[in-house]
Structure 1
Amino acid sequence: MPEPVLSLKDVTLSLKGNAGNVEILHGISLDVAKGETIGLIGPSGSGKSSLLMVMGGLERATSGSVLALGRDLTSMDEDALAQFRRDHMGVVFQSFHLIPTMTALENVATPLELAGDKDAFAKAKQELDAVGLGHRADHYPAQMSGGEQQRVALARALATQPDILLADEPTGNLDGANGEAIIELLFGLSEQRDSTLVLVTHAPELAARCDRVIQLRDGLIDTQRQAAE
């Protein structure tokens, strides 16, 4: 069998809270294949967003191993992690995280510029076109609707042609119509680019679009099931 794109073994995560350490994840082991779409579901506080952050090296596992494309994220320093994410991962957050002083085009071009791409702005324009926002390239986030901002965030995440796309409640701040549009773009574009997609969601219809649904409860994998036909 080919090596998994993501491989977690006995991963734990504990974070410091006001009352001391809080155990978030309890020994999670999970493999994700190339091109697979994974939906992480579960009640609030079950650890699904924390698991996604660990997969992306945005939270460092307390113990266990996290391999992405065969590289151990737990052994990397912050600079190496940032470079690895820049080169191999795209992340979409619920709250967009666009830079307010930059236009849509500049927001999308930023990761390309950081990677030293001389064609950053031309490629950024292509990505905005791909999400239907080429005509909004010169607009700032405050001049755009929530749905438009999330499209820009998706274009930015996909601009570097990432091997792995991580999405944390990508439709959580959107109404039904805008949420559906983002779902179609998210799955359509990640499939076109052959990206592996892992997403956190509370929406059953979104989870049902995935190849596999993993339910977390109290920091543990509760159930796994194949979802898509």
Structure 2
Amino acid sequence: MTSRAETEENQNGVSPMIDLRDVHLTLGSLAGEVNILRGIDLSVGRGETVSVVGPSGSGKTSMLMIVAGLEQATSGSVRIGDQDFRGLSEDGLAEFRRDNLGIVFQSFHLVPTMTAVENVAIPLELAGRRDAYERAAEVLEQVGLSHRLSHYPGQLSGGEQQRVALARAFIGSPKLILADEPTGNLDADTGQQIIDLMFNLARDHKTTLMLITHDADLAQACDRTVEMRDGRLVKDAALKAAE
């Protein structure tokens, strides 16, 4: 079975943005070893939007953590863009994330003692950019929060906090955005606004987007949906449609 991303590589000589080959993740517990991921093969093309669905405990977040370099696969190959994760140190992985990835969480993960503009500026500050705050203000304006620059997370609604989180994720023009239940803590109307904003930002920045969701509307908004069960990929809507 040849994926869309593999076809892209064969025809254009361009590697996929995400390339997982026979990825396993086994973790220890008091009851013994637990097989979290059981041989994941997945390719995602550059600029593609992919939703990952499946029941709780199926391995979705673990796979996302491996793609982000926040969890190390027990075995298999993990390649993100042109970078093979094998052999990278923790510092090397952190630098790669800083320069290439943006991550959006369900619970926002904003620093409560920092203002909106300070939260958004963090990635550029870590990269040593002198224009971090100026750029943060510009991106907050893009997400409709130019009037909230000096507000702290506790002074913002859930939707506003997620907009700040999106601005922080996109500020460095990352090649890949990973989102874990980005609308999970929001009401339906606010969630739809975040969906529209996230996809508009991804399009404008030409960013690959992979997201975990239980939201059917969000899943259907993607180019492609893959389903996980018991640590395996069991369905790929795009592949099924192409066969």
TM-score, normalised via structure 1 length: 0.97
Q: What count of residue pairs does the alignment treat as equivalent?
A: 228
Pairing partner for 1:196 from 208, 229, 235: 208
Q: Which amino acid aligns with 1:52?
A: L
- Offset, 1:226: 2.6
Answering whether residue 97 of structure 2 is matched by residue 90 of structure 1, we say no
Query: What is the CA–CA distance in structure 1 between the aligned matches of 2:150 and 2:187, rounded to whole Å?
Result: 24
Pairing partner for 1:101 from 113, 119, 122: 113
- Offset, 1:147: 0.9
> What is aligned with 1:20?
32
Query: What is the CA–CA distance in structure 1 between the aligned matches of 2:115 and 2:17, rounded to whole Å?
Result: 33
SS at match of 2:168: helix
Pairing partner for 2:125 from 97, 104, 113: 113
Answering whether residue 168 of structure 2 is matched by residue 156 of structure 1, we say yes
**Could you list the runs of 4 or more consecutive aligned residues of structure 1 that deviate by over 4 angstroms after TM superposition?**
none
SS at match of 1:226: helix
- Offset, 1:75: 1.9
> What is aligned with 1:45?
57
Answering whether residue 139 of structure 2 is matched by residue 127 of structure 1, we say yes
Q: Which amino acid aligns with 1:129?
A: E
Can you give the 5+ residue segments of structure 1 that lack an aligned partner in the other structure?
Answer: none
- Offset, 1:20: 2.4
> What is aligned with 1:62?
74
Query: What is the CA–CA distance in structure 2 between the aligned matches of 1:82 and 1:130, rounded to whole Å?
Result: 27
Superposed CA offset, 1:44-90 (max 9, x none)? 11111111111111111111010011211232111110100000000
SS at match of 1:74: coil
- Offset, 1:18: 3.1
SS at match of 1:15: strand
| Root-mean-square deviation (Å) | 1.3
> What is aligned with 1:180?
192
Q: More displaced, 183-192 or 15-24?
A: 15-24
Retained in 2: the 8 A contact 1:147–1:178? yes
SS at match of 1:160: coil
Q: Which amino acid aligns with 2:221?
A: R
SS at match of 1:8: strand
Retained in 2: the 8 A contact 1:60–1:74? no
Retained in 2: the 8 A contact 1:61–1:74? no
Query: What is the CA–CA distance in structure 2 between the aligned matches of 1:159 and 1:20, rounded to whole Å?
Result: 42
Pairing partner for 2:154 from 142, 153, 177: 142
> What is aligned with 2:180?
168
Query: What is the CA–CA distance in structure 2 between the aligned matches of 1:213 and 1:183, rounded to whole Å?
Result: 16
Q: Which amino acid aligns with 1:142?
A: G
SS at match of 2:70: coil
Query: What is the CA–CA distance in structure 1 between the aligned matches of 2:30 and 2:160, rounded to whole Å?
Result: 37
Pairing partner for 2:237 from 214, 220, 225: 225
Query: What is the CA–CA distance in structure 1 between the aligned matches of 2:112 and 2:146, rounded to whole Å?
Result: 18
Can you give the 5+ residue segments of structure 2 that lack an aligned partner in the other structure?
Answer: 1-8
Superposed CA offset, 1:165-186 (max 9, x none)? 0000000011111111110011
Query: What is the CA–CA distance in structure 1 between the aligned matches of 2:124 and 2:195, rounded to whole Å?
Result: 24
